[in-house]
Chains A and B, each alone.
Chain A
């Protein structure tokens, strides 16, 4: 055989062999993409638990690939993630559980918004869609506080890193913090999964859960502790609504559990015993239209409740609507109803 024919033979073998291998890969990936996850990803130890929980969740009709991406994808992050899982399966420490990284959590937002457009739009309009720049680059806050990992408990909770890898302190400690990755500036710090456990059991109440940064896991709302809040020596009646326990993980009092300390917003006074969700929308968080739910147009005083001197009307008011009591406006005692009518 002449060298030219050898060359053509080898070229042909390479061409057909290459085509065969590429087709094999596409076929295999196609199988993984379309087959029942029980036969593919979930057949591995690492995924069995996740699959079992998902199979009993409200999202069990949503395929894995709808949120996590399939095998037939050109998304580099998804491919990297899938390959990483396979490599870890065969070479890594199988005792280490698999967790979503922040980039995966943010990637899920598209899937969330596809099926829950109203809830997603409400969240986008709320203060809970705040960004890394808004939270970590606030000059006023930066002047009085130092970066601490505790920040990550409620903001950027899906970050695996120490906060020193997220923000840099200025050399002279007087200037503003700096994000080490400027691209993070516009990313949300409280994503959907901060308060939602997508693989949670189907019961609606159990869908809410708090993502604990330290445990790298969701804790269902019904397992979260019910805070004991005190107003002086008096125990405040706290709503038993499990969803409120999620709110209180971040809107929490100081260690002494005194009402209104730190970020606590526990209702007291005339609103004592109410749940956050009684007034605030679950995603919009606005309480603007909530008064009418319980109050008639006018109060006992004959004044429209929305126009009373509380922080509901003006944030400058001395009477916090969360804790306002009758005696705040009637320090001499509450007038009898008959007198009010006159």
Chain B
């Protein structure tokens, strides 16, 4: 049957010997089948990729490590540590982006401390002040942070890191984000360098070293 559809007959009509139907020859029907399979495969490939991309986009969180709620709370804490005044503050300079990125890298060991610490912080605010930290007035936020910094928060709520240890951790990382190099995710727009009057990159000519 394959031989009837291989097109060799046409050549035979013109007096040329028909091509032998070898094991490798594909019949017209086989080519058609392969074409149909190919079209279906391409459609499946494109469709599944599109579906996967849509799935990935809808499930795409804004942060690598933090949940939205955790990030919102941490942004508010960091902003109290380095508030915006005439220079950008922790939020503007990307403190949350720095901490979030580094918790997936060099600061990975602090993941548990953040997860437990933020939960303890949230519960402390609800128990002691009756509302979430974000809803407290500015003086109330300072008071809450002072209590946590000095270890006056209820110890029973702090099962993971102690309140003081957690505050020190957040303080250190907020400072790192603000004063460190933007390459690590914080200090957006070299804000702290400009605040300090630090020229970066320094305007300096060739640093040549003569041959030893």
Contacts and interface: CB of A to CB of B under 8 A. Distances in A.
A30 B42 contact: yes
A257 B38 contact: no
A16 B33 contact: yes
B210 A146 contact: yes
A145 B190 CA distance: 33
B203 A257 contact: yes
Tell me the dominant secondary structure on chain B's binding face: helix
Interface stretch (B11-19, B123-131, B151-159, B194-202): B194-202
Tier of interface size on chain A:
35 or more
Contacts of B28: none
Interface centre among A19, A27, A217, A261 (most CB of B within 10 A): A27
Nearest to B98: A95
Nearest to A41: B53
Interface string B172-212: 00000000011101000110001000011111111111111
Contacts of A27: 41-47, 49
B56 interface: yes
Interface residues of B, number: 48
A10 interface: no
Interface centre among B104, B185, B207 (most CB of A within 10 A): B207
Interface of B: 33-34, 37-50, 53-54, 56-57, 60, 64, 101-102, 104-106, 181-183, 185, 189-190, 194, 199-212
Contact of B203 (A95, A150, A225): A225
Contact of A217 (B33, B37, B183): B183
Contact of B49 (A32, A95, A96): A32
A44 B210 CA distance: 47
A23 B39 contact: yes
Nearest to A229: B203
A201 B207 CA distance: 33
